[in-house]
Amino acid sequence: MARKLPSRKTLRAQSDAAEARAKSTKKTTKEKPVKVKKAAKEKAVKVPKKPGEKKPSRKKTVKEIRMKAYWGVFSQSMKRLVLFEYADKKAADKKAADLTNSSRSQHFVQLVKEAITE
């Protein structure tokens, strides 16, 4: 069973009371500030760079990959059987229909994009 959640008003009242207690204890007990050692101060100082020095920047060059669209005839197991040019969709549909009629399994046409290698 789920337990009942406390209301927001009671939670707010509890947090306000805890803050008030914390403030009252801070006022009554005065703490001395902690002194920082000289060695720690020296480490914190940064050495300025020379005006001529710049960090070498490495920009990624985006390679533009050109893609070409084809129509592929696939079997049910997603095995590509034949690849046709994009303009020859009718030939791809005809090939898929012929393969479906000649065998038990279904064949379908799907768009395939391949990178152009020159």
Residue labelled with tokens 């070409």: 68
From CA 80, how far away is CA 72, in angstroms rounded?
6
How high is the pLDDT of residue 48? 67
pTM: 0.46
Per the prediction, the chain carries an average pLDDT of 83
Residue labelled with tokens 């990959």: 65
Q: What percent of the chain has pLDDT over 70?
A: 78
Domain locations in the chain as residue ranges = 67-115
80 pLDDT band, cuts 50/70/90, is: very high
Closest by CA position to 106, among listed 82, 78, 83: 78
